[in-house]
Amino acid sequence: MVFAMVRLSQCMIVKNEEKNIETALSWAKGIAFEQIVVDTGSTDRTIEIAEQMGAKVLRFEWVNDFSAAKNFALENARGNWVAFLDADEYMSGKDAKKLAQILKKIQADPQARGKYKALNFPIAHVDESGKPFSIQDQERVFSSFARYVGRIHEHIDIPSENIAHVDEITIIHTGYSNSALEETDKAGRNIALLRAGLSDEPGDLNLMVYLADSLMTKSDAASIAEAEELFYEAITGGGDKKLLPGLKNKAYKRIIMNYDVLPKKAMELEELCREAFAEFPSDLDFRYYLGVALNGKDKHGEAHKVLTELKGKLQDEGALTDSEVISADPELVDKQLEIAAETNRESTKGGSAMQNPVEQFNKAVELVREGSYEQALEILLSLEKNKELMPFCHYQIARISNMTGDPQTAYDLYYSAFNAKPDIMAALSKNAQSANKYVFHGLKDEKENTVCPLCGAEGTARWCYCMAEADAFNEFFNPIRMWMYCEMCHHMFARDYPEKLFLHNTGPRSPNTGRFAYYSKVLSNIRMGGFASGMSLLEVGIGACECLLAAREMGYEIFGIDVIERHVEEAKRKFGLDVQTADWNEFESDRKWDIIIMGDVLEHVSDPDKALAKAESLLSDDGALWISTPSFESAFSCVVGHDDAMRRQPFHLNYFSRESLYMLLERNYLMPVDYQISEYYNGSMEVVAVKTDRDMGQG
C-alpha cells in the first residue's frame, strides 16, 4: 500500500559547517531518499562538500529566525517523514537502521499512523572527549506536514499526545562542547536572537529561561545579574505564556547550582530549595540541595531526615532517572549525611536546645504541609501571643481550619491576619521579587448570596480559601472566598462576589495556537457523533478566539458574543471575526444555530439556569450545545484536593458536579449525550447536549 511506504527526507540548515557536514549527511545515507541542505550564508567549503555528497543545496537569506529557515527546508521536502537534525548532530549507523524500522511499523499500522506525528529522542550533549555531560529530549523526526514555531529554540507545533518517545535511539550533539562554543560563539548568537524574541514577546517565560541560560555562559557581573533577574521572573510566572516544566526545572537548578555566584537578593537558599522540591518531587537533586541548604543553616536534624529519606529512594531501581547531580556522584549524599549526623550529635549532647519562635513557626508550617494538623496547631497556638508572628499564625490556623472542615473559623482568622498585617501576601511570597503585591485596605462592597443559584435552597459553608494567593487575583475582589454547598443540587457556589464580575477581567488576550487542534477535535466529535449536522456556530464568550478561528478554518459559518467590548474589538481588528458585544442573558436574535459553544462560561454567570434557557431557545432543533466547565468531583480535583486552583478562582461563581450540570440541562429541555474529561483543562468536564424534543421524536 502507498500509505505504508516510508519516504524520509533529511533536512538541515547550515552556515560554515565544513567540519561537521560530512558526518551530518553520512548517517542518513542508507535510509533517506533525499537530503536537503539549506545554507544561510556559508563562506567556507560547506556547500561544496554537501553537493559532493549528493545533497540538494538551497540558499536562504538569513532573517534572524530559525523557524523561517527550517520551514523553507520543509516546504521543499517531498517525503512523508522528515529527519531534521542540526549539522552538529548525528545518529550511529545502528540507530539509523532502528529509526527506519520504527517508521515502517508506524506507516504499516493505520492506528499508529493516525496517532503518531512526531518522534522524540534523547539528545546527548558531549564534550571534546565524547563524554555526555547532559541529556534532554527533543523531537527530531516528524510528519512532513508539521512546521516550526519560534524565532530561536524553535519547536514543532504538534500536540504532546501525537508524539512518541523513542528511548532506544540516541542523538549525539557536539555543538555545546567548550571548543565548539569558542569557535562558533553560539552563546553570543543565541543571546542576540533571544533578545529579539523577547522584544517581540516580552511575556514569554520560556524565552526568559533560554536567555538567562545563555547569559550564564558569560563571566561578567552584568550578564550574571541579568540572568538572575530572568530566572526569578520565569519561575514566579509573571509572564504571558506558561513556563514549560522542563525549563522551570532548569531555572531552579541554575539558580541553586550557582547560588554563590548569583547576587541572590531574591530568595534564601533553603526556601528556594523547598519550593523547587515541592514543584518537582520526583527530581532527587532537589532533595539533595534541600539537605545541603539545611546543613548550611545548622538545621542538621531536619537535614538528616531529608537526606535519609533520599538515601532510601536511591535504593529504588531507576530512582536516578530524573536527577542530574547525584546521578553523577551518588556519594555526595553520604557526605552530607555525615555532616548532618556528626553535627547533630554534638548539638544534642545534654538535651535539645529550645528553638526560637521563628524556628518553631517554620516547623509548624512544615507540619501543615505534611498534614500533621494537630501538631502544627499546638505550636501555632503557643506562638499566637507573639505580636509579630500572630498574623502568620492566624493565617496558618485558617488553612488548618478549612482543611479540617471549619470554614467559618477559617474565614474569621484569614481576615484577622489581613487586618493585623495588610501586606501579609508579600511577606508570605516565596521570594521578595514575587508579583504578589496585594495590600488589604478593608472590605469592599460585594454581593452576598447564600441560596443556591440552581434551586434556591439555602446553602451551607463548605470551603474557605484565600484568593489573593492566585495569579488571577486583582484589587477589585475581597481576598477571601467562601464556597457554599447545596445538598439538593450537589452544587458549589460563591457566597460573596463583586457586581459586574467580568468588567474586572479585561486584560489583553493572545490566542494559544496549541488550542486550534483541540477545538478541531471538539467540533469533529460533535459531527462524528451525529449530534449536529449543520455548519452554523455561535460561541458564547469568545476568549482569545481559538475556537472561532479553528471553526472558521474548518468551514463553519461563525458568530460570537462577549460581554467585554475590548475583546470583541480586538477580535474584529486582528482576525476579521463576526463578533458582537453583548450580555448573553440579554442577547436577542431571530436565527438559530446548529452548534452553540459555551466553553468556560457557566462557572462565571450568576444565573446559569437562565443562561442555559437562552442557549436552548437559540439552538436549532437538530443542533448541539457544547459545554466545558470545571467539576469539583473530577478525577483531577479528587487527587489534588485543597491544591485545586479552581477553589481560588476569583472570577468563578459556580463549581459544578456532573450531577448538578445534568440536572440543570435536563430542566432546560436539554439532554446530555456525550461526556468527556477535558484533555486541555485539568479538572474540567466537557458535555454535549441536544434538545430533548428531537430525541423524543426519534424515539
The CA distances from residue 70 to 39, 50, 444, in Å, are: 10, 17, 54
As a whole number of Å, the end-to-end CA separation of the chain is: 43
Using one digit for the tens of pLDDT, what is the confidence trace for 210-243? 788 878 777 677 887 888 888 888 887 655 456 7
Neighbours of 690 (CB within 10 A): 25
| Percentage with pLDDT > 90 across the chain | 46
Closest CA to 686 of 493, 518, 470: 518
Q: How far apart are CA 608 and CA 670, in angstroms?
A: 14
Using one digit for the tens of pLDDT, what is the confidence trace for 60-105? 998 888 899 999 999 999 999 999 999 999 999 999 999 999 999 8
Instruction: State the Cα angle at 320 between 319 and 322, rounded to 5°.
Output: 100
Whether the Cβ atoms of residue 245 and residue 216 lie closer than 8 Å to each other: no
pTM: 0.51
Q: Is the pLDDT of residue 419 over 90?
A: yes
Q: Is the pLDDT of residue 32 over 90?
A: yes
Q: How far apart are CA 637 and CA 640, in angstroms?
A: 5
> Which triple of cell numbers denotes residue 282?
520526583
pLDDT of residue 345: 44
Confidence category of residue 134, pLDDT binned at 50, 70, 90: low
pLDDT of residue 210: 79
| Percentage with pLDDT > 70 across the chain | 86
Identify the weakest region by mean pLDDT among 60-74, 171-185, 423-437.
Answer: 171-185
Residues 6+ apart with CB under 8 A from 353: 347
The CA distances from residue 564 to 387, 558, 570, 580, 602, in Å, are: 45, 19, 10, 10, 16
Q: How far apart are CA 249 and CA 235, in angstroms?
A: 9
Closest CA to 384 of 373, 369, 394, 376: 394
pLDDT of residue 507: 59
Q: How far apart are CA 533 and CA 260, in angstroms?
A: 64
> Which triple of cell numbers denotes residue 544?
482569545
pLDDT of residue 69: 93
Q: Is the pLDDT of residue 55 over 70?
A: yes
Using one digit for the tens of pLDDT, what is the confidence trace for 616-634? 999 999 999 999 999 999 9
Q: Is the pLDDT of residue 421 over 80?
A: yes
Whether the Cβ atoms of residue 58 and residue 75 lie closer than 8 Å to each other: no
Q: For 135, phi and psi rounded to 5 degrees?
A: -135, 135
3-state secondary structure 246-313: HHHHHHHHHHHHCCCCCCCCCCCHHHHHHHHHHHCCCCHHHHHHHHHHHHHCCCHHHHHHHHHHHHHH
Using one digit for the tens of pLDDT, what is the confidence trace for 268-309? 788 888 888 888 877 788 888 888 888 887 777 778 777 877
Confidence category of residue 461, pLDDT binned at 50, 70, 90: very high
Closest CA to 489 of 448, 449, 460, 457: 457
pLDDT of residue 378: 87
Closest CA to 611 of 566, 656, 549: 656
Q: Is the pLDDT of residue 189 over 80?
A: no
Q: Is the pLDDT of residue 346 over 60?
A: no
Q: Is the pLDDT of residue 504 over 80?
A: no
Q: How far apart are CA 630 and CA 677, in angstroms?
A: 10
pLDDT of residue 338: 81
Q: Is the pLDDT of residue 698 over 50?
A: no
pLDDT of residue 72: 96
Q: How far apart are CA 483 and CA 460, in angstroms?
A: 8
Confidence category of residue 349, pLDDT binned at 50, 70, 90: very low
pLDDT of residue 238: 57
pLDDT of residue 190: 72
Q: How far apart are CA 452 and CA 459, in angstroms?
A: 6
DSSP letter assigned to residue 53: T
Closest CA to 267 of 277, 255, 257: 255
Q: How far apart are CA 136 and CA 139, in angstroms?
A: 10
pLDDT of residue 355: 61
Whether the Cβ atoms of residue 342 and residue 304 lie closer than 8 Å to each other: no
DSSP letter assigned to residue 229: H
Type of residue found at 223? S
Whether the Cβ atoms of residue 522 and residue 488 lie closer than 8 Å to each other: no
pLDDT of residue 623: 95
pLDDT of residue 506: 55
Using one digit for the tens of pLDDT, what is the confidence trace for 669-691? 999 999 999 988 889 999 999 99
Instruction: Convert 111-124 to b/e letters by CB count within 10 Å (16 or more is b).
Output: eebeebbbbbbbbb
Confidence category of residue 342, pLDDT binned at 50, 70, 90: low
pLDDT of residue 547: 96
Type of residue found at 666? E
